[in-house]
Chain A
Amino acid sequence: MKVGVLIFPGTWSHQDFAHALQDILGCDWGYVWHKDTSVAGYDCLVLPGGFAHGDYLRGGAIARFSPIMEAVVRFAKSGGPVIGSCNGFQILCEAGLLPGALLRNTSLQYRCRWVYIRTESTATPLTRTLAPGQILKIPISHGEGRYFAAPETLAALRANDRIVFRYATPDGRITAEANPNGALDNIAGVCNEGRNVVGLMPHPERAAERLLGSEDGRRLLESLLAAATRP
């Protein structure tokens, strides 16, 4: 079981993922540079947060044309688990692997703080071992995290259990106050039709040990590792 952690110029959360995977979870992992053209040998791919290619034009707009993305798309289409967090989520949307887009926060301000998210679907590699409705305390760190999708796309996401996380109060209520960026329907994470590609704005790798204030992100990474382990 080996996790590939992608790095684009401007990615900043790769070392946090590496620390969580290696030092906390003890799993095999490796960096994948954006100019690489193969993901052979990896059982699971992670696109970390940051500002790939400076977020020029739009977050993820340039990164989706990095050479590695063709291999990522092939890996995803063949059913391999692909997770995008924060900027990684933006890249997966721009690449067409996930529906919708991420817009400037309604507040127009960068938000770096703890949020609570409610697990809406457990039928994804990232949430398989969680309880339905489980509340997670995980930080966000973004200026452009307002999820948007056209009405017909949102209807399809709802109808097919593809909204994976929603911003909630600590006791699990979906309110406007709990929504840190104005996201449509409080959406914090979604998955693709095949359910193997998941994007979320929060940073699970930054909440993987008690020292950092929460171990809830670790639950997600453990679920991912369990799902990606070949029998």
Chain B
Amino acid sequence: MLEARIYVTLKKSVLDPQGETVRSGLASLGFTTVQDCRVGKFLVLRLNEADAAAAKTKVDEMCRKLLANPVIEDYVFQIDEVRG
């Protein structure tokens, strides 16, 4: 069994008012060293798949077709072996 951990974030060129609000919340708690904050999505997929290379190809296709919108978002993912 494989597990894909996918991170979807707004592109750098896209304003993230939610991230900015979180940053200002942290600043008001005294965490003034936080220079920037971006809020994104985290998805975990369990894949009934043995071959990591094939899984990588499929997860990349999933990201392109549905999980991320290429107009506004970037994505990265990692695939690890997990116990079924």
Tell me, yes or no, whether B67 is within 8 Å of chain A by CB. yes
Contact between B71 and A61 (Cβ–Cβ < 8 Å)? no
Of the stretches A34-42, A72-80, A103-111, the one at the interface is A103-111
Contact between B66 and A61 (Cβ–Cβ < 8 Å)? yes
Contact between A103 and B67 (Cβ–Cβ < 8 Å)? no
Contact between A94 and B14 (Cβ–Cβ < 8 Å)? no
Of the stretches B15-23, B25-33, B47-55, B74-82, the one at the interface is B15-23
A 67-101 binary contact with B (CB < 8 Å = 1; else 0): 00000000000000000000000000110000111
The total number of A-B Cβ pairs within 8 Å is 34
Contact between B69 and A182 (Cβ–Cβ < 8 Å)? no
Contact between A101 and B71 (Cβ–Cβ < 8 Å)? yes
Tell me, yes or no, whether A149 is within 8 Å of chain B by CB. yes
B 42-78 binary contact with A (CB < 8 Å = 1; else 0): 0000000000000000000000001101011000000
Q: How far is the CA of A107 from the CA of B18 in the complex (A)?
A: 9
Task: Report the interface size for chain B: residues with CB under 8 A from the other chain.
Answer: 12
A106-B15, A108-B18 as given contacts; A101 in contact with B66, CB under 8 Å: no
Tell me, yes or no, whether A128 is within 8 Å of chain B by CB. no
Q: How far is the CA of A182 from the CA of B69 in the complex (A)?
A: 19
User: A61 to chain B: closest CB distance in Å?
Assistant: 7
Chain B residues near A103 (CB, 8 Å)? 10, 14-15, 72
- What secondary structure prevails in chain A residues at the interface with B? loop
Contact between B69 and A100 (Cβ–Cβ < 8 Å)? no
* Residues from 167 to 183 in A contacting B, C-beta threshold 8 Å: 182
User: B20 to chain A: closest CB distance in Å?
Assistant: 9
Chain B residues near A94 (CB, 8 Å)? 69
Chain B residues close to A by CB (< 8 Å)? 10, 13-15, 17-18, 21, 66-67, 69, 71-72
Chain A residues close to B by CB (< 8 Å)? 57-58, 61, 65, 93-94, 99-101, 103-108, 148-150, 182
